[in-house]
Amino acid sequence: MASHWPPPGHFALLYFAAASEFTRRSVENIPAPIHATGLFGVIEQRYPGITDKVLSSCAVTVNLQYVDLDGDDAADKDLIIQEGDEVAIIPPVSSG
């Protein structure tokens, strides 16, 4: 897959598998910056119901690194998603 370059003031959000089936797209541009902990809320606003059906079992990467956003003492709870970042929703994998 080619790299996706979001326009100024935005980050790229990538969807795979069940996430892309729900949103009916593989990528979209979202205004930046936002708090990483607010990401699922932003997506839920655009796709009501996606948190329960899909996001609750998904991981998140920012610029190809997994981020830890679960709980008050999560390692990346203060992370800000910046303009130009590539963020991805990672459903449970099924290779092989």
Distances from the Cα of 55 to the Cαs of 6, 9, 89, in angstroms? 22, 24, 8
The one-letter amino acid code at 18 reads: A
CB of 49 to another protein, least distance (A): 8
User: Residues 66-95: x/- map of binding to another protein (CB under 8 A)?
Assistant: ----------------------x-xxxxxx
Question: Quick check: 45 binds another protein (CB under 8 A)?
Answer: no
- The first and second tokens of residue 45, run together, are 């606003």
What span, in angstroms and rounded, lies between the C-alpha atoms of 13 and 10? 9
Question: For another protein, which residue of 9, 52, 57, 75 counts as binding (CB under 8 A)?
Answer: 57
Nearer to another protein by C-beta: 1 or 73?
Answer: 1
Question: Which residues are within 8 A (CB) of 37 and not within 5 positions of it... i.e. 6 or more apart?
Answer: 69, 74, 77, 79
- Contacting residues toward another protein, per CB under 8 A: 1, 3, 14, 16-18, 21-22, 53-54, 57, 61, 64, 88, 90-96
